[in-house]
Structure 1
Amino acid sequence: MQKDALGRLTIDTKALRSNYRLLQDKVGATVRVSAVVKANAYGLGAVHIAKYLKEEGCVDFFVANWQEGQKLRAAHPDINIMVLNGFYPDVGEIYLNDTLIPVLDSRDEITSYGAFARKVGRQLPAMIHCNTGMNRLGMDMPLVHEIAGDPAMMAGIDLICVMSHLACADEKDHPLNEHQRAAFAEIAALFPNVPKALANSSGIFLGSDYHHDMVRPGMALYGLNPVPYADKNPMAPVITLDLPVICKRSTPSGAAIGYGAAHIFAQETCVATLSGGYADGIFRSLSNKGALYWRGVRCPIIGRISMDMLSVDLSAVPNEQRPEIGDRLELIGPHQSAADIGDLIEGSFDYEVLTSLSPRYERIYTH
């Protein structure tokens, strides 16, 4: 087989669509299911992901910043794009021209966005983010009450949704969930004619009291597990990632491999070197700890992972069945999930594994 220098990230769009439909069924037809596509749709490719979700009826997409919104708008003129990090007045014309909807989270943002709206002579759409306990972004309760009681504060602004964000929804019994639900219910009562949004991926599974008018899944769409406390992940796996063999050799007993001679061979060993390293989002901390799979057989990573390469021990694979140059080993797939990899890395988890996926990987969208 011919040598291939690129890792290959395969995105199963049927599984993506299935996950969207599952979430829509979970919340019911009266609740809008949006899609969080920030960080390039968690590494899967926001422009492509939006295309497939649009075909399932999704019209609301959340990005982190205006740069992401501008790129998405260029490909999709017919969707709603909300910017979670709010409004930046020095690029107000970009919000205007690309119809980007800011999620406002402070008095200053309300003031600057309202002033910009009046300057251009238009009523401009916005959401507001209320802090119910996450304590990152969001308006605290006194300001929320002030806005509700003084419509003049929102002059020039068309308030299209009130939202908050759950901090511990992946822990179903965490007391902060109920605290945030109750706090948001109080906020919702202040804005009776405005749509509300509270639930993220995991929040959808906390029950209908968290659903309101719109839910904002991200990770669940991409196959990550929104209910880690349950016996089974309800979402279909969306991605596989495999790396090509670019070199294969028999390494003698006593020899070392890689930087720092971090692995010494106790016996003669068949080794495959693969194209993919920490520049591709394969954490260096997986050195001498992680593994890839060849036809279901675990092949341990040996030595240090370098910028563009890593090596695996093929000893567990029968000699006549070992991969050749150009064959591909599975890093993420049926034998190892992003969550499995995250569990091997202290302080990491599946979100980080997914969002670290390199732009160097060839991305293939299967239908």
Structure 2
Amino acid sequence: MTHLPTRNAVPQSTSPELIVDLNAVVDNYKTLQGMVSGECSGVIKANAYGMGSNQIAQALSEEGCETFFVALASEGVEIRALLPNATIFVLSPFLALDCELLKEHKLVPCLYDIEGINHWISAHSGLAPVALHFETGINRLGLSAQNLETLLSDKTKLGQLDIKLVMSHLSSGDEQQSRHNPEQLKAFKMIRAEFPNVPASLANTGGILLGSEYHFDLVRPGIGLYGHDPHYYENNCSRLKTVATFRAPLAQIKHLKSNDSVGYGATEMSKDSEIGVILCGYADGVMRAFFRHETREGHKVALNGFSTPMLGRVSMDMITIDLTDIPSDAYKKGDMVEIFGPNSLVEDAAVMAGTSAYELFTRVSDRTVRKYV
């Protein structure tokens, strides 16, 4: 295990840790690649969903991944310095600001309006490399049906583009029975038919798991690389390996009597209780919603083979957990408590907080030390 310091990291002895299993990332990539006949890329935007984009990109590249997607041009610049020969698509470029950066670092923008296409063409003396991102139902960034007609009617403009990819994005790929999936698939097939010799891409992780109809020439897994199966809640199982273990040290053990209270809002004890204070809070990525003060429900963490709930509101730098039902000889100060990982599933944490694994991964702050297995 190696320690790679992160921006604003505090000393390892007191800091929460995010343990990232690079072998599991690679295994998940191989699993997803094995499901498709075309190319499997890697989505490493948002610092690889909080896992560390440089480390993830390097591991995937060594496994044979040649195509990467980032959200911002600045993210692409960072990966270009690491992987000089990779194909790097930028999902959300703003051409008025990013144009020179994209050109200088040989990044391919995913363009979503005619204005951007015109700007990109004017910046090139030769063919302008581009991915065309079409709207099929999610109604975020994307070329409209009217934009498509305008583009197809202007052969001169099309002739100035080196179209590397036509793509769209599913709104409901994580819902296997959603009517939106076949509707978007139908719409995308009609668009793809206008570009028969250009590679096509529709599927994120959820789209890959929907089946081969959604795969086309290139798939774009993101969350699946990092261990979350978007269909987990429907299937009650995961086809992917856990990547991230978020944990923090047990700093103090306290005995509280019935009617004593703990934390902001003074959560009262219903009985004599043993509690543990953990050096990790919402400044590190532990959501305040992990404990429901009104109902006394808490997300269950893992400690040395035992599962136990949080007890008391999450504060900026600390949480408290209930140790009452764990044998006193099974833990000690300094032991690491797993907030989420293989023994305390991120999916369960997300349900408690009313959010998704995506948000929990990306909320883990820079104050948390990343370690790579």
Under TM normalisation by the shorter chain, which class is it? over 0.9
**Partner secondary structure for residue 55 of structure 1:** helix
Match of 2:129 among 120, 125, 128: 125
Name stretches of at least 5 consecutive residues in structure 1 with no aligned partner.
none
The 8 Å contact of residues 3 and 245 in structure 1, kept in 2 or not, is answered as no
Alignment check: 8 A CA contact 2:152 2:158 kept: no
- Of 283, 298, 322 in structure 2, the residue corresponding to residue 313 of structure 1 is 322
Partner Cα distance (1:234, 1:205) in 2: 10
Q: Which residue of 2 aligns with 1:338?
A: 346
**Cα distance in 2 for residues equivalent to 1:183 and 1:19:** 29
Match of 1:15 in 2: 24
User: What is the letter of the counterpart of residue 206 of structure 1?
Assistant: L
Matched residue, 2:86: 79
Residue 157 of structure 1 and its aligned partner are, at CA, apart by 2.8
**Could you tell me which residue of structure 2 aligns to residue 284 of structure 1?**
288
State whether structure 2 residue 56 is matched by structure 1 residue 49. yes
Give how far 1:155 is off.
Answer: 5.2
For residues 289-347 of structure 1, the C-alpha deviation after alignment (integer angstroms, 9 at most, x for no partner) is 223111232222122111111111111111222x222110111122221111011123x
Indicate whether 1:209 and 2:213 are aligned: yes
Secondary structure, aligned partner of 2:110: strand
Matched residues in 2 for 1:84 and 1:225: separation?
22
Q: Write out per-residue CA displacement over residues 22-44 of structure 1, whole angstroms, 9 at most, x where no aligned residue.
A: 1111002xx11011111111110
Q: Deviations over 1:188-247 (max 9, x none)?
A: 110011111011101112222211110001011111013232242111111111111122
Which of 151, 165, 174 is matched with 1:170 structurally? Answer: 174
Residue 236 of structure 1 aligns with an amino acid whose one-letter code is: K
What CA distance in whole angstroms lies between the structure 2 residues aligned with 1:48 and 1:151? Answer: 43
User: Gapped runs of 5+ residues in structure 2?
Assistant: 1-10
C-alpha displacement of 1:13 = 1.4
Tell me the residue number matched to 1:112: 119
| Amino acid corresponding to residue 362 of structure 1 in structure 2 | V
Task: Give the superposition deviation at 1:90.
Answer: 2.8
Partner of 2:261: 256
1:348-367 to structure 2, matched below 5 A, reads 348-366=355-373
Residue aligned with 2:34, SS = helix
Q: How far, CA to CA, are the matches of 2:290 and 2:94 in structure 1?
A: 39
* SS of structure 2 residue aligned to 1:259: coil
Cα offset, 1:154, TM superposition = 3.6
Partner of 2:223: 219
Give the paired residue count.
Answer: 357
- Give me the TM-score of the superposition, normalised by structure 2: 0.91
Name whichever of 236-245 and 294-303 sits farther off: 294-303
Counterpart mapping for 1:147-186 below 5 A: 147-154=151-158, 156-186=160-190
Alignment partners' CA distance in 2, 1:169 and 1:143: 25
Q: Does the aligned pair in 2 maintain the 1:254–1:266 contact within 8 Å? A: yes
Which contiguous aligned blocks of 4+ residues in structure 1 show a shift greater than 4 angstroms? none
TM-score by length of 1: 0.93
Identity among equivalent positions (%) equals: 36
Distance in 1 (CA, whole Å) between partners of 2:208 and 2:199 is 16
Aligned equivalents of 2:155, 2:346: Cα separation in 1 = 46
CA distances 1:136-166 after superposition (whole Å, capped 9, x unpaired)? 1111112213323423224543111100011
2:12 and 2:369 in contact (8 A); partners too? no
Report the equivalent of 2:6: none
Whichever residue aligns with residue 350 of structure 2, its letter is: G
Deviation, 1:268, is 3.5
- Amino acid in the other structure paired with 1:314: L
For 1:231-246, list aligned pairs within 5 A.
Answer: 231-246=236-251
> Given the superposition, is the C-alpha separation of residues 59 and 211 from structure 1 closer, same or farther in structure 2, using an over 3 Å criterion?
same
For 1:79 and 1:136, the matched residues in 2 are separated by 27
Q: Hey, what does 1:192 align to over in structure 2?
A: 196
Quote the RMSD (CA, aligned, Å). Answer: 1.7
How far, CA to CA, are the matches of 1:230 and 1:300 in structure 2?
A: 25
The residue that corresponds to 2:275 in the other structure is 271
Q: 1:93: Cα distance to partner?
A: 1.6
Instruction: Say which is worse superposed, 250-259 or 231-240, in terms of deviation.
Output: 250-259
Match status 1:302 vs 2:323? no
Q: Post-superposition shift, 1:3?
A: 9.2
Per the TM alignment, residue 173 of structure 1 is displaced from its structure 2 partner at its CA by: 2.1
**Paired AA for residue 249 in structure 1:** K
Q: Which amino acid aligns with 2:58?
A: K
Q: Which amino acid aligns with 1:207?
A: G
**1:356 Cα deviation (Å)?**
0.9
User: Does the 8 A contact of 1:114 with 1:154 survive in 2?
Assistant: no
* Aligned: 1:88 with 2:95: yes
State the Cα distance separating 1:167 from its structure 2 match.
0.9
Distance 2:31 2:105 in 1: 31
Whether the aligned pair in 1 keeps the contact of 2:280 and 2:319 (CA below 8 Å) is yes
- Counterpart of 2:270 in structure 1: which amino acid? A
